[in-house]
Amino acid sequence: MLEGDEKLSERELLQAGYRYGWSLSSNKQDAEDLVHDAWIRLIKRYDEVPSKSLLFTTIRNLYIDQLRHEKHVIKHQQEGRFSLTLNSEEVEPDFIRRDEIQFLLSKLRDVENEALFLSLVEGYTAQEIAKMTSSTRGSVLSLLHRSRQKLSRWLNEDKLQPSNVVKLVRGAVKE
Amino acid sequence: MSKTESAIVDFYQSRELDEGKLARLLKESRVVRRKRWNQKILSLSAVASLLSLLVIGGLYFSSTKNGDPISVVLQEASVNHKNKLQLDFKSQELPTLAKVMDKLDFPLLLPESVRQQFKLLGGRYCTLNGNLAAHIRFNAADDNSEVSLFMTQSRKELLALANQSEDIDGVNVSTWVADGMFYVLAAN
């Protein structure tokens, strides 16, 4: 258990696991499957989920085992979905923003996405993320830096318009 | 936190398992937990049954090996023979020995085969399966080794112990019944 692992209710743990699954798979269905399989695996083994960090580690292991080879297909399918949604000029600005973030996150490498999630959303330190992902603190810091750079390059916050998002989705903006 | 980072946090916080899925997963957890406990109880029951079988088997084995009457009688004869306890009465004449061992509740009559093969040394009182018995010691004619004959009145419970032969700690012990007497012969 990591230092920052506070005692959470089962519902809170499940939601956190689901979000973490999202950060890895960038996909609702896979995130649901990941948190489901990891949760049941831990219940079978320990009768309860001992900590959030263990839940995350289990989700990560499952993801590596089961989903990595399908990643390309999943991302490709997502791009199609976004294009259809964002072509509409009538969508609400807030909705566009979330969708755009979702799309940009899905463009990041898995490990970058994961590091951003663990750092920004879960508040883990680079050292804790390194421990969870069997990496080094230096690598995590580098990942976080690179992913922020990519996002700021992709996302020109001042000029964000639905039409630009459509361009992003269609691959007009390259890394 | 920059706008982008805030947007990322906002995005992830907006991702939530819907209530229906959450409820189903929590329900499934309860089922898994129940199964897990059932399996645990089943495993513990299996271990307990195995231990019980081992204990019962052990008790049965020890009772049949060491606690049954035949084992006790053969063991008694073997120990008495090996210890070479001092004879209460020394005599090479059977009538003399029979006369002095007057506490016996049976006549001191030796089987013909024993009288012919062995030379009498003397006798002492002892018990066989809780009954007063005579321990008669002989010398074997051929190699001068000592032989013990234990005899007591044949009783109902002793009849079942007749015609046994076993090596107990290097002593060959045999039992038989003849003329209303129960005999045990022990020899190295």
Give the distance from CA B31 to its chain's centroid. 49
ipTM over cut 0.85: no
Q: Do B1 and A36 touch (CB under 8 A)?
A: no
The answer to whether A40 touches A78, Cβ cutoff 8 Å, is: no
Ramachandran region of residue B28, left (φ > 0), alpha (ψ -120 to 50) or beta?
alpha
Contact B115, B97 (CB under 8 A): no
Q: Are strands B131-140 and B171-178 parallel, antiparallel or unpaired?
A: unpaired
Region for A174 from its dihedrals, namely left if φ exceeds 0, alpha if ψ lies in -120 to 50, beta otherwise: beta
DSSP B66: I
Exposure on the CB side of residue B108, measured as CA atoms within 13 A: 24
Q: What distance in Å separates residue B36's CA from the closest CA in chain A?
A: 6
Cβ distance of B4 and A152 shorter than 8 Å = yes
* pLDDT of A93: 36
Lookup: tokens for B177? 């019944």
Residue B110's nearest CA partner among B146, B149, B77 is B149
Residue A87 CB partners (closer than 8 Å, separation 6+): A166
**By CA distance, what is A153's nearest residue in B?**
B4
Whether A149 and chain B come into contact, CB under 8 Å, resolves to no
Q: How far is CA A36 from the centre of its chain?
A: 17
Kindly report which listed range (A5-19, A86-100, B103-117, B134-148) carries the lowest average pLDDT score. Answer: A86-100
Nearest Cα to Cα of residue A37 among A74, A71, A9, A66:
A66
Q: φ and ψ at B149, to 5 degrees?
A: -120, 125
Confirm if B151 and B136 have CB atoms less than 8 A apart.
yes
* pLDDT-based confidence at residue A5 (cuts at 50, 70, 90): low
State the pLDDT at residue A85.
Answer: 34
For residue A135, the distance in angstroms to the closest alpha carbon of chain B comes to: 23
pLDDT for A87 equals 35
Contacts of A19 in chain B (CB under 8 A): 12-13, 15
Distance CA A126, CA A13 (A): 21
C-alpha–C-alpha distance, residues B149 and B77, integer Å: 9
Buried b (16+ CB within 10 A) or exposed e, B73-85: bbbbbbebbbeee
Mark which residues 19-78 of B lie under 8 Å from A by CB: 21-22, 25-26, 28-29, 32-33, 36
A22 touching chain B per CB within 8 A: yes
A13: helix, strand or coil: helix
Q: Is the pLDDT of residue B136 over 80?
A: yes
Partners of B7 on chain A (C-beta within 8 Å) are 97-98, 101
How sure is the predictor about A175, in pLDDT bands with cuts at 50, 70 and 90? very low
Which residues have a Cβ under 8 Å from the Cβ of B37 and sit 6 or more positions away?
none
Distance between CA A16 and CA A122 in Å, rounded? 8
Are the C-beta atoms of B148 and B159 separated by less than 8 Å?
Answer: no
User: Cβ contacts (< 8 Å) between A15 and chain B: which residues?
Assistant: 16-17, 22
Torsion-angle region of B179 (φ positive above 0: left; ψ -120 to 50: alpha; else: beta): left
Q: For residue B65, name the pLDDT band (cuts at 50, 70, 90).
A: low
- Tell whether the model's pLDDT for residue B36 goes beyond 50: yes
Rg of chain B over Cα atoms, rounded to whole angstroms, equals 37
Q: Are B96 and B125 in contact (CB under 8 A)?
A: no
If pLDDT is split at 50, 70 and 90, which confidence band does A98 have?
confident
- Token pair of A84 as six digits: 């259809």
Which residue of B lies nearest to A94 if distances are taken between CA atoms? Answer: B7
What's the residue count for chain B? 188
What was the pLDDT predicted at A84?
A: 30
pLDDT per position as a tens digit, A110-142: 889 999 999 999 999 999 999 988 889 999 999
The pLDDT of residue B66 is: 54
**How far apart, in whole angstroms, are the C-alpha atoms of residue B153 and residue B142?**
30
Residue A7, pLDDT score: 75
Gap between the Cα atoms of B117 and B112, Å rounded: 9
Q: Give the residues across from B131 on adjacent strands.
A: B128
H-run or E-run covering B137: strand B131-140
B11, two tokens: 């995005």
pLDDT score for A77:
44
Q: Which pLDDT belongs to residue A4? A: 52
pLDDT of residue A170: 44
By C-alpha distance, the chain B residue nearest A20 is B12
Q: Which residue of A has its CA nearest to B25?
A: A36
pLDDT at A114: 92
B188 close to B137: Cβ distance less than 8 angstroms: no
Q: For residues A53 and A2, is the Cβ–Cβ distance under 8 A? A: yes
Helices (H) and strands (E) in chain B, counts: 6, 7
Compute the average pLDDT of residues B61-88: 77
Q: Do A40 and B33 touch (CB under 8 A)?
A: no
Interval A35-84: pLDDT, tens: 999 999 999 989 888 889 899 999 999 988 876 556 544 444 444 333 33
CB contacts of A102 in chain B (<8 Å) are 11
